[in-house]
Amino acid sequence: MDRHKVLLVIGDATETVDTLYPYYRLQEAGLTPVVAGPEKKRYNMVMHEVKPGWHITREWEGYTIEADVAFKDVRPEEYLGVFYSGGRAPEYIRDDEDLIRITRYFFEHDRPIASVCHGVEIPARAGCVKGRRMATVAKCKFDLEVCGGHFVDAPCVVDRNLVSGRTYHDHGHYMGAWMKLLEAERLRAGGGR
């Protein structure tokens, strides 16, 4: 295992803030964020917000981001942990067999996992949320619960190695807890700083 690499799972229409906030936080901590997508290519990100007076999410184009690796080429044992970004991407990538393989590895090996917003759709699809407590955007509560998870409406939910938040508004609440788990995993694996 590389003691410094952390996987960030994305796809087209991944949420901009959900992706860039952890990307730069990992760099600040001396870790290497490795962006993984269905293919190794540049992806379009979006910005999501429920505007005042609206009852549904409005979407705008965001920045783009380059995937460093395709899901099929990811060897999860090389990474300290994984982050599942939000946006619409999880709905479209959650059936990818390699992403399911990757996801199951992190849950089975108790590596640090973080999820925000729609990111829950990936571990839910992989069959990894049964009995687990998680925060997610309210409209994904069904996805979590139908797969056996327990919805918690809070800015930070920690369930063993799994840390989650509802939306990008919660980044300042849950990200610190995940970073602590990553640091502990790095020290446990003998990676130091």
β-strand pairing of 5-9 with 32-37: parallel
Residues carrying an active site annotation:
118
